[in-house]
Structures are given as C-alpha cells and as structure tokens.
Structure 1
Amino acid sequence: MGSEPTAVLRHRTVETPAGRLHLVEQGSGPLVLLVHGFPESWYSWRHQLPALAAAGYRAVAIDVRGYGRSSKPAAADAYRLLDLVEDNVAVVRALGEESAVVAGHDWGSTIAATSALLHPEVFSAVGLLSVPYAPPGGPRPSDVFGRIGGPEQEFYVSYFQEPGRAEAEIEPDVRGWLAGFYAALSADTMPDRGEPDPHFVARGGRLRDRFPSGPLPSWLTEDDLDVYAGEFERTGLTGALNRYRSMDRDWEDLAPHRGAPITQPALFIGGTADASTTWMADAIDAYPTTLPALSGSHLLEGCGHWIQQERPHEVNSLLTGWLATLQG
C-alpha cells in the first residue's frame, strides 16, 4: 500500500445499516471521513481527496444513504440523523479503523456534527463546512420553517416536506434544475441583492422559477454537471429529499442532547456570500460555548455555498493545516 500512487481513487461498497454504502477513498494514513450535502454526492469532495491523500491521510468520501450508489431505504424516517450517524460508524469499522476525523458540508455538516456528538469515541474531531453547529433543541423545525415564508411565499425546506411535490418539479429535468440550483447559491452566479430570493417558492410556483438562467458557476464544468445529473437521473430525488422530511423526527430523537456542546477539536469554514452563514450568525457567535475546542472559524470572503468546490485551494489548505495540528 505504501508505494501506491496517491492519484488512485478506489471505489468500493461496504455493509452498513442502510444496506450498501458506496465510498471513494484515496491515500493512506489516519482516516478522514467526508460527508456531502444536498443535492450532491461523494464527487463534491473531488478536490479534497487528492489533497488529503498527498498530505498523508486516508481520505474517504461517501455517498450518503439515498444518494448515488448507496442503498435507498423506502421509508422516509430511514433518513433520520440517528441512522445516518450509524452509517458513518459502520464505515469506520468496515474500513478496519477504530476512529476517524469526520468533516461534512451542508447537510453533511449536520451529519458530521451529530456523529461527533453521539460517538466521541469514534469521531475524534469534526470539520464543518457552510452550515454551523447548532446544538439540538429549540422549537419544532416544521413550526420554525413554516413561519419563515409568510403568506406570499414558502421557504424551500417547507416546500420539500410533502412527498412527491419537489420530485415532480425536479425529475422531469434533473440536469436543468441542478444547474439552476447550483448557480442560485454560487457567489459568481447568485441573484443580485433585491432580486427574488431563490430559497423561497412563490405560492403556487416552483423553486426553479427564481433560479438564474445564465452560465454555469465557474467551479462547475459541463462534465461535473453530467456526473451529478447522471446520478440523480438514475436514482431520483426522493432519498435526498427524505433528509428534509426527517427533521421533526431528529428533533424528537435528539431531545436528550438539547443544548449539548461538541467537545472534540473542531473547525468551521463558511462563505460570506452563503445564506447558511448569515442566517445562522448567532450559531457562529455561540461557538465558545457550543464548540469549546474549536481550532478555527474561517469565513471566506465572497464565497457562496458550495465552498469546497468554489474555493478548493483555500479549503484544502485550512483542512490540511488543521489536521496537522491534530497529529500533535
């Protein structure tokens, strides 16, 4: 293994509570588990895998259950955080390891944080990209998101709740919808301030009505879009959307951990042009309490939501620098 070139990407599937879980790994050394968000796949970490491998780590990017080549349980509550956390634990075990650093982006950030919260004996440190850590608790999520929109428009999280509704919008033109969604949240293509917010759906409308229709974001090539679209054209979107449909279940499941901090070493990287960081600014401000072992909180100026793809070199530098501190 030691002489194997770090350029080799190894695809494999392992057994997890989901059934089959697909992963891609590169390099050897301490295990770093990478967890993607919506609507993506292992491929969103394509720039990090070689950089982490070159820095002396065994980098592993998974297809979260419901995505790509991983199993897609039929029940909506099979996508609750408790189950996704157990998938992560099973991956570490299946790879013959006792522990790992876990890092996630978007929903993957929440999955990574919950993994670290529930299994500190397995996940020795946690990296969070784009979506800050907010401890479990507060009001029921469906009540919160239902209030955000108001009478004229509906917040996208609420729009995603009804089974089949968002699928009916997305699946007839997966590639076009993904292109618009990626562009809507990318710094170089997102709508200007004052234009209709693409996180909301006008009553009776579609989410894509507010997506940009111009060129692809600079980080996304036609070939990259083909990879993402090809996976979702094959799998459909229900598995991915079921994550949003499990939020109230998570709220119930994690009630015993209300307000709990994550005490392992942590890293946060967000973008100043990403709504996730501006909406959740209070969560970032609370890090001294909620992430007491935080190594660094970095906001990349002018970066949108797809942070490790929009700014791969900066993210790689921050990740590898942080990982080096964990090795002592």
Structure 2
Amino acid sequence: SPRLWGESMSASGAYLVAKDFGAMPAYDFALRHPNRTCGVMCLGIPFLHGGSSFTAMPEGFYILRWREPGRAEADFGRYDVKRVVRTIYILFSRSEIPTAKEDQEIMDLADLSTPLPEWFTEEDLAVYTSLYEKSGFVYPLQMPYRSLHKRQPIEDPKFEVPVFVVMGEKDYVIKFPGVEAVLKNGTMEKFAPDLKITYIPEGSHFVQEQFPDKVNELLLGFLKDHPVA
C-alpha cells in the first residue's frame, strides 16, 4: 500500500519521507510546492518522469492483475487475511517480480510451506493481520494499482530541494522497465540536481523493515547534511 510516512517540520517547510507508491505524492508535492519543502527522502522508488511502462510485461505481472477490477478480490477471497498478508510479504521480499502463469493467481505463488523472511516474525504478521482485518484491502488496491493512470504529469519537472533515494540492492522494483536506467545512467540527476542515491546490500523492497536501524541512520544523516538555513 502507498506510504507517505511523515514529515519533519521546520519554519521554512517540511522534509518529506515516503516509501513505495507514497514516493509519488512526495515527489509531486516537492515539485509543486518547493517553498514548503526542505527535502524529500524516498525508499524503493526513484523519480520516474512519465512513469514506468508496463506494456512489455507479461499478463501475469501482479500490477496488471491487481488493477483489473475484481481480480485481486477473488484471488484474496480464497484465503483468510493472515494468509494473504503472509504471501505478500514472502513475494515482495524476493528479488524477482511477482508474476503468475496463465493458470495461476498471484496468491498461488507461495504456500504455507514457504517460510517468512527471517526479519519478519509471526508477531509482526499477527499485528499486520489484525490491521487488515479491520480495514480490508479495498484502499490498497484502489490506490495505487487502479489509480496510477489518474496522475497528472508535471511538465519539465525540476527539483529545487535535495532528494535522497534509498534502494535495496535486491529490491525487485529495480527490474521494472526503465528503473535501473533511471538510477544508474544519470537520468534522475537531470530532474534532481541535488541528488543522493544509496543502496543497501541484501536490501529487499521492505528495506525499512528489514534494516530499520540502517535506514534510520541514513535518513538522519541526510537531515544532518541538509540543515535548514
């Protein structure tokens, strides 16, 4: 689900901290309101001007499946909430993009014999399960999977504030079309002149849960290096 984690306020604006699809509104806010922003720190998603095209992805690609109304609801509905959350954490902590075959659904890509990531405990699973039992999955499916096409692009974007991107080296998102190029060929620097990208070895898509102390250290270091004038 999208996460715009929070903000560190100052007299001149806010430092935005975001994860996953929450990075998109964080980037948009920083571009549209530079006078209200001191910096933006995003985990797992670089700034992709124009987005990442999924036209070349196979039909079983999870985003294509989940943006189809009713598809994920039917898939998830075969299991209890705990099993669904468990499967998502297993699949999304891998380095391969979750993709089903023609005769599979996304929930079929892991079963109860597949161990949880070593950093994600049964206690963690119980907490997340209790939360999703209350909220359901309607919003996480609507935003972002079924709302990506509604984003209004910003013409000629240029960040006026420092940008910090933290990526796990084994985050499957790096394999999305165009993402690795944006990170490594200098494309993002065209839009963010004051840019820092840091990779965490062995880091997955859930790098902030996998290595919380390291991520906090990096974010605090960025704040220290960019004090408010």
| Fold shared by both chains (TM-score > 0.5) | yes
- For residues 111 and 214 of structure 1, what CA distance do their matches in structure 2 show? 34
Match of 1:237 among 130, 137, 154: 137
- For residues 299 and 118 of structure 1, what CA distance do their matches in structure 2 show? 27
Corresponding letter in the other structure for 1:148: M
2:105 matched residue in structure 1 = 206
Task: Tell me whether 1:226 sits opposite 2:132 in the alignment.
Answer: no
Match of 2:188 among 276, 287, 307: 287
Deviations 1:206-260 (A, max 9, x none): 102113642221221222112211121111111111121111111xx22xx1341
Deviations 1:246-301 (A, max 9, x none): 11111xx22xx13413231111110111121243111113122121111x211111
- For residues 263 and 277 of structure 1, what CA distance do their matches in structure 2 show? 25
Which secondary structure does the structure 1 equivalent of 2:165 belong to?
Answer: strand
Greater relative contact order, per chain length (Cα 8 Å cut-off, separation 6+): 2
Unaligned runs of 5+ in 1: 1-37, 43-60, 63-87, 192-196
Which secondary structure does the structure 1 equivalent of 2:104 belong to?
Answer: coil
2:54 matched residue in structure 1 = 145
2:223 matched residue in structure 1 = 323
1:7 matched residue in structure 2 = none
Corresponding letter in the other structure for 1:249: K
The alignment covers a number of residue pairs equal to 221
- For residues 55 and 81 of structure 2, what CA distance do their matches in structure 1 show? 26
- Answer whether contact 2:12 2:37 (CA < 8 A) is retained: no
- For residues 233 and 158 of structure 1, what CA distance do their matches in structure 2 show? 25
- Answer whether contact 1:198 1:208 (CA < 8 A) is retained: no
- For residues 97 and 182 of structure 2, what CA distance do their matches in structure 1 show? 23
Unaligned runs of 5+ in 2: none
2:88 matched residue in structure 1 = 181
Equivalences for residues 153-172 of structure 1 within 5 A: 153-171=59-77, 172=79
Corresponding letter in the other structure for 2:82: R
- For residues 221 and 271 of structure 1, what CA distance do their matches in structure 2 show? 20
Relative distance call for 1:210 and 1:96 in structure 2 (3 A) is same
Task: Tell me whether 1:133 sits opposite 2:42 in the alignment.
Answer: no
Equivalences for residues 29-40 of structure 1 within 5 A: 38=1
- For residues 268 and 96 of structure 1, what CA distance do their matches in structure 2 show? 21
Q: CA RMSD in A?
A: 2.6
- Answer whether contact 1:276 1:305 (CA < 8 A) is retained: yes
* TM-score, structure 1 normalization: 0.61
Corresponding letter in the other structure for 1:113: Y
- For residues 298 and 323 of structure 1, what CA distance do their matches in structure 2 show? 14
Equivalences for residues 273-312 of structure 1 within 5 A: 273-279=170-176, 280-284=179-183, 285=185, 286-294=187-195, 296-312=196-212
Distance apart, 1:126 and its partner CA? 0.2
* TM-score, structure 2 normalization: 0.85
Relative distance call for 1:300 and 1:120 in structure 2 (3 A) is same
Distance apart, 1:146 and its partner CA? 4.1
Corresponding letter in the other structure for 2:223: L
- Answer whether contact 2:97 2:173 (CA < 8 A) is retained: no
